[in-house]
Chains A and B, each alone.
Chain A
Amino acid sequence: MARPAEDAGIDAFTAFVYERDNRCGWHREWWLHVGGCRQLLWIERHTLTHEIRAAGGSDA
């Protein structure tokens, strides 16, 4: 989920901070490799099966 633009207003930021769909299906999310390289990576995970079909670094 992308951070809204600076002037997007309170409603947009409220949605960004608080509102999440609890989707059954593919979900793109951030993971931080805390115990290792401390790099952020994104993965695409299926929320039902936990299958991971794609992953990449934060620069990708």
Chain B
Amino acid sequence: MQAPKRIARGLLTEDERPVGFRFNGRPLVGVAGDTLASALLANGIRLVGRSFKYHRPRGVVTAGPEEPSALVDLMGPAGREPNIRATTLPLHEGLIAHSQNCWPSVGFDLGALNDGIARFLPAGFYYKTFMAPGWAWERIYEPLIRRAAGLGRLEAIVGRQAGPAETVHDHTDVLVVGAGAAGMAAAQRLALCRLKVLLVDQDCMIGGGTLLDPRWTAWRAARDADLAGAPTVRILPRTAVIGAYGHGVFGALQTLSAEQSALFGGLRERLRIIRARRVLVATGAIERLIAFPGNDVPGVMLAGAALGYLRRYGVAAGSRPAFFVNNDPAYEALFALTEAGVRCAAVIDVRESSRAADRARALGIEVRSGALVTAVRGRRGVRAVIVTGRDGAGRAEIEADCLLMSGGHSPATMLATQLGAASRWQEPIAAFAADLAPSIGRIAGAANGLFGIAAAARDGERAADAIAQELKGAEGGVTGTGAAPEVPPDPEITPIAAFWEVRGRGKAFADLQNDVTTEDVRLACREGYVHAEHMKRFTTHGMATDQGRIGGLVGSAVLAQARGLPLSEVGLTKPRPYIEPIPFAALAGGEVREHFKPKRRLPLDAWHTAAGATFVLTGLWLRPLVYSRQPGWDPVLKEARAVRRAVGITDVSTLGKIDVQGPGAARFLDFVYANTFSTLPIGRARYGIMLREDGMVFDDGTTSRLGPEHFVVTTTTANSAAVLEHLEFQCQSAGARFDVLLTDVGDQWAQFALAGPRAREVLSAVATDVDLSNRAFPFMAAAAATIAGVAGRLYRISFSGELAYEVSVPANHAQQAWTALLDAGRAFGMVPYGLDALNTLRIEKGHVTGAELNGNTSAEDLGLGSMLKSSGDFVGRALAQRPGMKAQDRLQLVGVRPTKVSQRLRNGAQLVAPAAASSSLGYVTSSTPSVESDGWVGLALLAGGRQCIGRRLIAASPIHDESIEVEIVSPRHLDPENARVRS
């Protein structure tokens, strides 16, 4: 066990540069170029973590991103990052990592008790066990499961800066995914045709399988030089394609090396959005596990991984490895380890004979043909393997410190499948390959089911030529040949024998990451989950970070056998994006915190800020909430009281404004509004409600007629974008029916509401060319006017319920008009008021906003049913007539007030009858302390509400632990005769 593990020079490692790190608190030393996994193996550490469900000891299984077991918590500058694959994590000085899924320690883990009671925890046990009684779910089961379940441990990183990321866009002729022999050869051919090529690979350097075979060093060096000198080729290592999105759009995650990261100010990742005319999928093949009892014991690894650790890092996976294989390529690890001086224990090959077995025997290595591994000795690490013949005879125990398995290789078709490629079973390789539509691209090399490096290189060139032909036509083919490096021949091989599972005592895992055994797969089948997709969801086979790459086909094979069907009919599950785990930080890119959404600022933002406003974000807008930093309702009520008693001014520039012009303008508005606008006289405004086609109220606002063919529509702030889109759709989709043009003028016009009994006096001082007398400019009048020397518009409309005007001026003159109005108002005690006071005023008046126009309320519900015109078509007309829309037991708008003035209302409080066990009859939508009367007032939606005026109900707000008695009243708490607005 203590034999030196670093036995050769690795391709990536620099032995003379030691790197210190800590694993589970233990100080260790690796070398520059190591991954965490290679450094742990070099330190003789096999037990890396515990498994997800049974908490079984687990070690490193692969040498790449397909790793199911060696997931660790990385203690980074941003805190604990879970589920980091040790096999792809570059080692750096001071790295700190911890094992996952274990408590109190990886060596002694209480959760391992699950392993002993495993027969009570079969697949799907959550669904069945934790059912009755209902109350127990919330109080007992869920907290218990939450603590025990989940991969890794997530810590909130709120308030801390997660690693920064950015998003970039790439455009290319051909995206080549995978830079092994096929991808490199293809990229070089495409470059000769002067096509733009983006060559990406997950690995930290390009080369793929050629990195593991020294015979290919010269070829790779020559191709490296070709590609580096090709002006149309860009090479991106450390870049994993995470999804294909149709129309040539791909997502890729580029992880920056430590050096690059330092250059870009600590940037960790780039999300690359790639647009390509064609894709060449050269993603290689992934080695499969074999399911046998104990195939998860630390020290059981894929044969190809052992080859990878030796070639890339100079690390031997063990000092006495045994092999369990069904194919010839797996022997490459045996030959390489033997050449490096490792004494291999034995090869157990399920086949009766093979060329590779003959070669091994010639080297003096014991090969047991036609044999199986039926068990593994050792719990925290392999000590020996139990071997029998395929007939069960000749049991033997072979001492070994690791077991290198290989069940064959599956073309990596996940990306191709996302692109709509059909899977086809390939008997000679015992795996599925895929066919891609030529208009999308090609698949080449091992991904195309052609194993062997030379075969892959040839296939890459073939695919590249086909793509070049399509993109450039016959005349635009290869313009030169370049230097043709020597291609080492692929070894002759004996075909694979399909082999999936050794049945016996003990758990045989088809999915190591999710602890799914072959028995779980059979259980799913017995339970009726016979489709591969259903089996996946019942067992979780193939889920999580590794997406079942090394065991996916094994699960399907076990399912096929259980169903008595050929594997080709059962197939694989469909991989959806993302193929690779991707941090949320990378998806978010730069759009975080203050850059999460753009901010819209009012034209008078600087004035509001200087006036000491507290701002609130409504949609994208920053609006003054109240002109005070003092918490509580006092400053709000002070502003609202000034409006009721004297005059106030507020900035309502956020309202949507749409200019509607044309001969068809009036007819168009009649069509999109539920009420009539064609009868509106010039110089008048009218309140309108707009329905959706399903008959529900969509938006409300005032529309003014400025000329025979000229209207200005205002929308609510929240719906301004949606209403514009809706109107554009209605206008354009109707063809030539409406001769009308819509222009969004929301940003062009600033708008202020001047409200209160003294509003006329203030405005008279500023709007000099308009007669503001009640007779000349009555309620709902609209006119062009000069305001403080600015050509603007004046509307006599009121949201507050007071005598009020809205003043509209071009946005770049907002300051001039606003200041003049404030100056004029000083003598009358005018104050600016914010959104909170505005809300107080409108609730008292019973005006609705988004809380009541919630998409589920009809005009009838809001007491606006009489506004619907009785003749003429309009959007929503037909479906608003449905009997259910007018039913009197629907939630209807009412007012509420507590019966005790000392009690406060809560938005969202449920209205229930005083009798016990009453269910909800409705809820409070808006509430505010009143300035007009004592105590709180509110609006509510109440079942059959208009019939309940005068009734007493309970408003219950369990989250505040409050229950108060309220009286149902008219929503018009204030001035029901509407006299003030006309005064």
Interface residue ranges, A against B (CB under 8 Å): 3-4, 6, 8-10, 12-14, 16-18, 30, 32, 34, 38-40, 48-50, 52, 58-59
Question: Top 5 A-B pairs ranked by shortest CB distance?
Answer: A13-B878, A6-B873, A40-B732, A58-B732, A50-B246
Which residues does chain B contribute within 8 Å of A10, judged by CB atoms?
Answer: 878-879, 881-882
Which residues does chain A contribute within 8 Å of B878, judged by CB atoms?
Answer: 4, 8-10, 12-13
Contact A38 B879 (CB under 8 A): no
- B503 close to chain A: CB less than 8 A: no
Residue in contact with B729 in the complex, picked from A8, A12, A30, A48, CB distance below 8 Å: A30
Contact A49 B879 (CB under 8 A): no
Contact B694 A49 (CB under 8 A): no
Closest residue to B879 on the A side, CB-wise? A13
Instruction: Tally chain B residues at the interface, Cβ within 8 Å.
Output: 20
Which residues does chain B contribute within 8 Å of A48, judged by CB atoms?
Answer: 420
Report the Cα distance A58→B731, complex, angstroms.
10
Report the Cα distance A32→B247, complex, angstroms.
18
Contact B735 A59 (CB under 8 A): yes
Report the Cα distance A58→B730, complex, angstroms.
11
Interface residue ranges, B against A (CB under 8 Å): 246-247, 420, 437, 693-694, 725, 728-729, 732-733, 735-736, 872-873, 877-879, 881-882
A5 to B: closest C-beta gap in Å: 8
5 contacts between A and B (CB under 8 A): A16-B693, A17-B693, A38-B728, A48-B420, A50-B246
Which residues does chain A contribute within 8 Å of B872, judged by CB atoms?
Answer: 6
B808 to A: closest C-beta gap in Å: 23
Report the Cα distance A59→B735, complex, angstroms.
6
Report the Cα distance A33→B879, complex, angstroms.
29
Residue in contact with A58 in the complex, picked from B733, B879, B881, CB distance below 8 Å: B733
Contact B247 A50 (CB under 8 A): yes
Residue in contact with A32 in the complex, picked from B246, B728, B881, CB distance below 8 Å: B728
Contact B733 A40 (CB under 8 A): yes
Report the Cα distance A50→B693, complex, angstroms.
28
Which residues does chain B contribute within 8 Å of A4, judged by CB atoms?
Answer: 878
Which residues does chain A contribute within 8 Å of B736, judged by CB atoms?
Answer: 59
Residue in contact with B725 in the complex, picked from A3, A17, A32, CB distance below 8 Å: A32
Contact A40 B729 (CB under 8 A): yes
Closest residue to A9 on the B side, CB-wise? B878
Which residues does chain B contribute within 8 Å of A34, judged by CB atoms?
Answer: 725
- Give the number of A-B contacts (CB < 8 Å): 45
Closest residue to B877 on the A side, CB-wise? A6
Closest residue to A58 on the B side, CB-wise? B732
Which residues does chain A contribute within 8 Å of B881, judged by CB atoms?
Answer: 10
Closest residue to B419 on the A side, CB-wise? A49
Which residues does chain B contribute within 8 Å of A39, judged by CB atoms?
Answer: 732
A9 to B: closest C-beta gap in Å: 7
Closest residue to B692 on the A side, CB-wise? A17
Report the Cα distance A9→B882, complex, angstroms.
10
Report the Cα distance A10→B18, complex, angstroms.
78
Contact A58 B725 (CB under 8 A): no
A47 to B: closest C-beta gap in Å: 11
Which residues does chain B contribute within 8 Å of A18, judged by CB atoms?
Answer: 694
Which residues does chain A contribute within 8 Å of B732, judged by CB atoms?
Answer: 39-40, 58
A45 to B: closest C-beta gap in Å: 10
A37 to B: closest C-beta gap in Å: 11
Contact A14 B733 (CB under 8 A): no
B668 to A: closest C-beta gap in Å: 14
Closest residue to B437 on the A side, CB-wise? A49
Which residues does chain A contribute within 8 Å of B882, judged by CB atoms?
Answer: 10
Q: For the A-B complex with A13-B693, A17-B694, A32-B729 known, give 19 more contacts whose Cβ atoms are closer than 8 Å.
A: A3-B693, A6-B872, A6-B873, A8-B878, A9-B878, A10-B881, A16-B693, A17-B693, A18-B694, A32-B725, A34-B725, A38-B728, A39-B732, A49-B246, A49-B420, A50-B247, A52-B247, A58-B732, A59-B736
Which residues does chain A contribute within 8 Å of B879, judged by CB atoms?
Answer: 10, 13-14, 17
Report the Cα distance A49→B881, complex, angstroms.
40
Which residues does chain B contribute within 8 Å of A30, judged by CB atoms?
Answer: 729, 733
Report the Cα distance A3→B879, complex, angstroms.
13
Closest residue to B420 on the A side, CB-wise? A49
Contact A58 B873 (CB under 8 A): no
Report the Cα distance A8→B879, complex, angstroms.
11
Which residues does chain A contribute within 8 Å of B725, judged by CB atoms?
Answer: 32, 34
Which residues does chain B contribute within 8 Å of A12, judged by CB atoms?
Answer: 878
Closest residue to B871 on the A side, CB-wise? A6
- Looking at A13, A39, A50, the one whose CB has the most chain B CB atoms below 10 A away is A13
Report the Cα distance A6→B878, complex, angstroms.
8
B146 to A: closest C-beta gap in Å: 36
Contact A40 B728 (CB under 8 A): yes
Report the Cα distance A32→B733, complex, angstroms.
10
Closest residue to B744 on the A side, CB-wise? A38
Report the Cα distance A50→B323, complex, angstroms.
47
Report the Cα distance A12→B882, complex, angstroms.
12
Report the Cα distance A48→B420, complex, angstroms.
9
Report the Cα distance A39→B741, complex, angstroms.
12
Report the Cα distance A49→B418, complex, angstroms.
11
Report the Cα distance A8→B881, complex, angstroms.
13
Report the Cα distance A51→B535, complex, angstroms.
32
Closest residue to A30 on the B side, CB-wise? B733
Report the Cα distance A3→B729, complex, angstroms.
12
Which residues does chain B contribute within 8 Å of A59, judged by CB atoms?
Answer: 735-736
Which residues does chain B contribute within 8 Å of A38, judged by CB atoms?
Answer: 728
Closest residue to A5 on the B side, CB-wise? B873
A42 to B: closest C-beta gap in Å: 9
Closest residue to A41 on the B side, CB-wise? B732
Which residues does chain A contribute within 8 Å of B694, judged by CB atoms?
Answer: 17-18
Which residues does chain B contribute within 8 Å of A13, judged by CB atoms?
Answer: 693, 878-879
A16 to B: closest C-beta gap in Å: 7
Report the Cα distance A40→B877, complex, angstroms.
24
B218 to A: closest C-beta gap in Å: 43
Report the Cα distance A30→B733, complex, angstroms.
9
Report the Cα distance A52→B733, complex, angstroms.
20
Report the Cα distance A3→B876, complex, angstroms.
11
B858 to A: closest C-beta gap in Å: 14
Residue in contact with B735 in the complex, picked from A6, A9, A49, A58, CB distance below 8 Å: A58
Report the Cα distance A34→B729, complex, angstroms.
11
A7 to B: closest C-beta gap in Å: 9
A17 to B: closest C-beta gap in Å: 5
Closest residue to A4 on the B side, CB-wise? B878
A40 to B: closest C-beta gap in Å: 4
- Looking at B437, B733, B877, B881, the one whose CB has the most chain A CB atoms below 10 A away is B733
Report the Cα distance A17→B728, complex, angstroms.
18
B577 to A: closest C-beta gap in Å: 14
Report the Cα distance A38→B694, complex, angstroms.
24
Which residues does chain A contribute within 8 Å of B420, judged by CB atoms?
Answer: 48-49
A19 to B: closest C-beta gap in Å: 12
Which residues does chain B contribute within 8 Å of A50, judged by CB atoms?
Answer: 246-247
B725 to A: closest C-beta gap in Å: 6
Which residues does chain A contribute within 8 Å of B247, judged by CB atoms?
Answer: 50, 52
Report the Cα distance A59→B879, complex, angstroms.
28
- Looking at A34, A48, A49, the one whose CB has the most chain B CB atoms below 10 A away is A49
Closest residue to A12 on the B side, CB-wise? B878
Report the Cα distance A40→B735, complex, angstroms.
11
Which residues does chain B contribute within 8 Å of A8, judged by CB atoms?
Answer: 878
Which residues does chain A contribute within 8 Å of B729, judged by CB atoms?
Answer: 30, 32, 40
B302 to A: closest C-beta gap in Å: 36
Report the Cα distance A17→B691, complex, angstroms.
13
B732 to A: closest C-beta gap in Å: 4
Report the Cα distance A52→B488, complex, angstroms.
45
Report the Cα distance A16→B420, complex, angstroms.
32
Which residues does chain A contribute within 8 Å of B437, judged by CB atoms?
Answer: 49
Closest residue to B246 on the A side, CB-wise? A50
A25 to B: closest C-beta gap in Å: 14
Closest residue to B724 on the A side, CB-wise? A38
